[in-house]
Amino acid sequence: MRVEDFNYDLPSSLIAQYPSRQRGDSRLMVIDRRLSTIEHRVFRDIRDYLNPGDLLVLNDTRVLPARLVGKKETGGKVEVLLIPPTNGAGKTWDCLIKGAGRAKPGLRIRFEQDLYGEVEEIKDGRGRIRFPGEEDRILDILNKIGHIPLPPYIKRQDEPQDKDRYQTIFAQRGGAIAAPTAGLHFTSAVLQSLRDYGVAVRSITLHIGIGTFSPVKAENTEDHRMEAEWVEIPEEVARSIQETKSRGGRVVAVGTTTTRSLESFSGQNGGVNPGRGTTLLFICPPYRFRVIDCLLTNFHLPKSTLIMLVSAFAGKELLMEAYRVAIERRYRFYSYGDAMLII
């Protein structure tokens, strides 16, 4: 398909710059694929659309404060976004560098607390950086001086509240440079209500990297290639999915990252194989989903891999109509925006 087929016009006033006042206060659009219907609720009503025996699968990745602000030896400001490696922290980090100009390998950048970085490679704003003498402590240092890497469409600097609100309440495993935003809506009360109702809750891990948000530069979807992201599917999750399917329950994926994880490790009869490794899976129409039955997601950027995945699940025409209605009703879009449940 043409990438342009997934374009739409969005007023900038609908791009959420801050989270809702309280978690769970977001609006919830509910789409039924079978009936082609669209309903409008609030997020805490989500239980009305789930059944006892369903399985809710979350992504428990944790966002690293991976944005560093420093200065070149000449005094110019430089911003570095570290990209967590898929095989654990190493001696060097891939990164995006902003403000380095025509810098060459060997550039030294000074950050807070006397942390120095040395650029080993750089081309078109992307490169590799090492932190001589601090390799084993870099994660601790990030937690002290790093900034939460808010998406570029949030036109402000990160603030103290973002350290909490740009993490899900179930975030456990550090390694992402962006939040699994569909999970941001959940409160402890909502999750407990679902458990009490008979909905099982399990977690997988996909560490969101640059690949999820890299712009699609190809004209046709078949020419786009994803970048690798780290996935881990615990054995108990694979077993729960198999048991849910055998009972006739539904697998409800919280977010596109959870969806890609489960579909990447899909097995026979709608099951999932446990394991760990990287995924390069790019889901766009037409795609036959093997595992998930329902999808909770946010509203995504035009021509992004995320809107393509959701189009594959909801049906492109129905989804684009839903986006038209969302704009008309002034839903809030993107990471801090409102939610959509597709049944």
Domain 67-145: give its CATH code: 2.40.10.240
CATH architecture type of domain 3-63+163-342: 3-Layer(aba) Sandwich (3.40)
Q: Has residue 102 got a pLDDT over 80?
A: no
Kindly report, residue by residue over 287-341, the tens digit of the pLDDT. Answer: 999 999 999 999 999 999 999 999 999 999 999 999 999 999 999 999 999 999 9
Strands (E), the chain: 27-32, 37-42, 55-59, 61-63, 67-72, 77-83, 92-98, 108-110, 116-123, 126-130, 173-176, 200-207, 229-233, 251-254, 275-279, 294-298, 339-342
Phi-psi region of 269 (alpha: psi -120 to 50; beta: other; left: phi over 0): left
pLDDT at 89: 56
The CA distance from 137 to 276, in Å, is 25
- For tokens 């937690």, the residue is 143
Confirm if 95 and 66 have CB atoms less than 8 A apart. no
pLDDT-based confidence at residue 88 (cuts at 50, 70, 90): low
Range scoring the smallest mean pLDDT among 99-113, 148-162, 303-317: 99-113
> What is the pLDDT, as a whole number, of residue 87?
60
- The two tokens of residue 248 are 């006739």
Structure tokens given for 247: 């009972």
188-194 LR contacts (CB < 8 Å, sep 24+): 189/24, 190/24, 190/43, 190/44, 190/46, 190/47, 193/47, 194/46, 194/47, 194/50, 194/56
Q: What is the mean pLDDT of residues 56-82?
A: 93
Q: Is the pLDDT of residue 90 over 70?
A: no
Q: What is the C-alpha separation between 146 and 37, in angstroms, rounded?
A: 44
pLDDT at residue 85, as a whole number: 75
pLDDT tens digits, one per residue of 191-229: 999 999 999 999 999 999 887 667 788 999 999 989 889
Q: Report the percent of the chain where pLDDT is more than 70.
A: 98
Top-ranked range on mean pLDDT: pick from 73-82, 100-109, 297-306: 297-306
Q: What is the pLDDT of residues 51-68, one digit of tens each?
A: 999 999 999 999 999 999
* pTM (predicted TM-score): 0.94
3-state secondary structure of 137: helix
Among the residue ranges 23-27, 96-100, 155-159, 263-267, the one predicted with the least confidence is: 96-100
Q: Residue 273 CB: number of other CB atoms within 10 A?
A: 12
* pLDDT score for 113: 81
Please state at what angle helix 305-314 crosses helix 256-264, rounded to 10 degrees. Answer: 70
Gap between the Cα atoms of 177 and 188, Å rounded = 24
Residue-range domain boundaries for the chain? 3-63+163-342, 67-145
**Average pLDDT over all residues of the chain:** 93
Bin 24: left if φ > 0, else alpha if -120 < ψ < 50, else beta: left
Contact partners, residue 40, CB within 8 Å, separation at least 6: 27, 28, 29, 30, 329
pLDDT digits (tens, 9 = 90+) for 9-25: 999 999 999 999 999 89
Of 305, 289, 298, nearest in space to 323 by CA: 298
Q: Which two tokens stand for residue 7?
A: 């374009």
